[in-house]
Amino acid sequence: MNNTFRGGIHPETHKSLTRDLPLRPVEAKGEMVFPLLQHIGKPALPLVKKGDAVLVGQRIGEADGFVSAHVISSVSGKVKAVEKRRVQNGQMTECVVIENDGSYTSLEPYDSRYDVSHITGEEILRRIRDAGIIGLGGAGFPTHVKLSPKDPSAIRFLIANGSECEPYLTCTDQLMRTESAAIVEGLELMLRLFPNARGVICIEDNKPEAIAAMQAAVAGRQKLSVLPCKAKYGQGGEKMLIETVAGIFYPASMLPADVGCIVQNVCTIYAIERAVVYHEPLYRHVFTLTGDTVASPGNFIVRDGMSFAELLEAAGGLKEGACPRKAIVGGPVMGMAISSLSVPIQKTSSGVALVSVDESEVGQSKMTACLRCGRCATVCPVGLTPQMMADAVSVGDLERYEKKLYGLECLACGCCGFICPAKRPLVQMFLSAKAEILSRKRAQAGGKK
């Protein structure tokens, strides 16, 4: 099959644990924590204070500026506190803490359709912004910003990302199987914003049921198509999808909109459909709980704000005597390990894998010097030379890393680290080098002012 990109890897997917398990709603019980910064941009400003009563779907955090997003309560109850709590990324972030009263009294029922046949583009964008929708693929970029490029008529491709190339995760697969009509409707609503665009739904070919469901849903629609892609890790990246669909490769200094493409995760598109057609803000989303230590793994519809520990308990807990060595949120390759399961699930959490064997631990025990085999360069989807970049980082030559080796183009997709037979911690080296370069640049810019 030609529908793919250059590079990429084939890790063990572990998707069989959950791939055929239907989505189940879970209700939260106890305390709910809503971080005010779940997105890229400025943190939201709290709209409630201690003692306030809130309802399901009520806005509790107001977007601060254009590149920011609202925060929505997923339960009804009383605000317990507005304070700093530890969140998924390990940082302490300002959070709204709500004591759930368990009644789930909602602002609106969110089950009756509104007429959208004459809805304008501005109205769609306003609904998306009001619903607090951000990219649910993991990065959390505010969706209304992404859908407001400088020149909407220059957009040629609207790519629905249903690749789900990360191992373990299967909730997007299930969502496409069950909600294909809603996803197609959401995509059509988005297409109204871009008169010259075509909608392409990219799905990896290891999800035949999802491909069949989506194909049936798009049948007879001129501007939409389903593109089955080769199942390969890396396919779900924005850059790789654009390379697959449009055949365009662009540098890190450019945005997808600059090359006439906009990529949205299908979960985001589903949220857009719910927001525009049902006026339902984003307070719940699909989630995969998996790993070899979980008693009954599965795909769930979770409410934002519940803790990972609570979800685990509701799903049946750990296997008898099992002790997870690591908990990784958002897929094991690009996801982040979390230190504690008591942190809240937020909009961008797409799944958690509780694994008994820590691959990085195994890897480090086998680490040797670089063999100069060059496999890292063959799998790099951006076409970089990780072995040379690692050399530059280890001697502290960040100038060479940035200017000669184009180190800032690195997506940190993890392909090089996975394939490395010497088990070098390549991605981690690149991440720290990038952070160091960016902080120096910031310091320089600050010095000039």
Partner 1 sequence: MIVFLTTLVIAVVGAAVGFGLVYTGKKFHVEVDERETAVRECLPGNNCGACGFAGCDAMAAAIVSGAAPVNGCPVGGAPVASRIAQIMGTMADVKERNVAFVQCKGSCKVTRNQGNYIGVQDCRTAVLSGLTVTECSYGCLGFGSCVVACPHDAIHVRDGVSVVDPRKCIGCGLCAKACPRKLIVLIPESRHVAVQCSNRDKGPIVKKVCSAGCIGCGMCQRTCEHDAIRVTDNLACVAYENCVQCGACAEKCPVKVITLPLGQVKKNIPA
Residues of this chain that interact with partner 1 (CB under 8 A) are 86, 88-90, 92, 325-326, 336-340, 358, 360-361, 364, 425, 428-429, 431-432, 435-436
Minimum distance between the CB of residue 112 and partner 1, rounded to whole angstroms?
41
For residues 289 and 69, give the distance between their C-alpha atoms in angstroms, rounded to a whole number: 26
Minimum separation from the CB atom of position 364 to partner 1 (A): 5
Residues 176 and 267: beta-carbon distance below 8 Å: no
Nearest distance, CB of residue 408 and partner 1, angstroms: 15
**Residue (130 or 436) nearer to partner 1, CB:** 436
- In sequence order, the 6+-apart residues with CB closer than 8 A to the CB of 243 are 5, 6, 249, 381
Nearer to partner 1, 121 or 425 (CB): 425
User: Smaller CB distance to partner 1: residue 72 or 95?
Assistant: 95
- Edge-to-edge, what's the strand order for the sheet holding 53-54? 31-35, 92-100, 77-86, 53-54
Nearer of residues 88 and 299 to partner 1, judged by Cβ? 88
Residue nearer to partner 1 on the CB measure, 153 or 340: 340
In whole angstroms, the minimum distance from the beta carbon of 436 to partner 1 comes to 7
What is the smallest separation between the CB atom of 202 and partner 1, expressed in angstroms? 28
User: CB of 228: closest distance to partner 1 in angstroms?
Assistant: 34
Using alpha carbons, select from 326, 383, 331 the residue that is nearest to residue 359.
Answer: 326
The residue among 246 and 437 lying less far from partner 1, judged by its C-beta, is 437
CB of 268 to partner 1, least distance (A): 23
For residues 152 and 425, which CB has a smaller minimum distance to partner 1 in the complex? 425
Nearer to partner 1, 73 or 88 (CB): 88
Q: What is the rounded end-to-end Cα distance, in angstroms, of the chain? A: 53
CB of 399 to partner 1, least distance (A): 17
Closer residue to partner 1, CB minimum distance, 129 or 424:
424
Per the CB < 8 A criterion, the answer to whether 106 and 56 are in contact is yes
Quote the radius of gyration of the chain (alpha carbons, Å).
22
Which amino acid is present at 124? I
In the complex, least distance from residue 336 CB atom to partner 1, rounded to whole angstroms: 4
User: Which residue, 378 or 428, has its beta carbon nearer to partner 1?
Assistant: 428
Q: What CA–CA distance (Å, rounded) separates 402 from 393? A: 10
Q: In this structure, which amino acid lies at residue 339?
A: S
In the bound complex, what is the minimum distance in angstroms from residue 253's beta carbon to partner 1? 23
Shortest distance in whole angstroms from residue 64 CB to partner 1: 24
Strands 23-25 and 298-303: parallel
Residue 150, Cβ neighbours under 10 Å: how many? Answer: 8
Select 397 or 436, whichever has its Cβ closest to partner 1.
Answer: 436
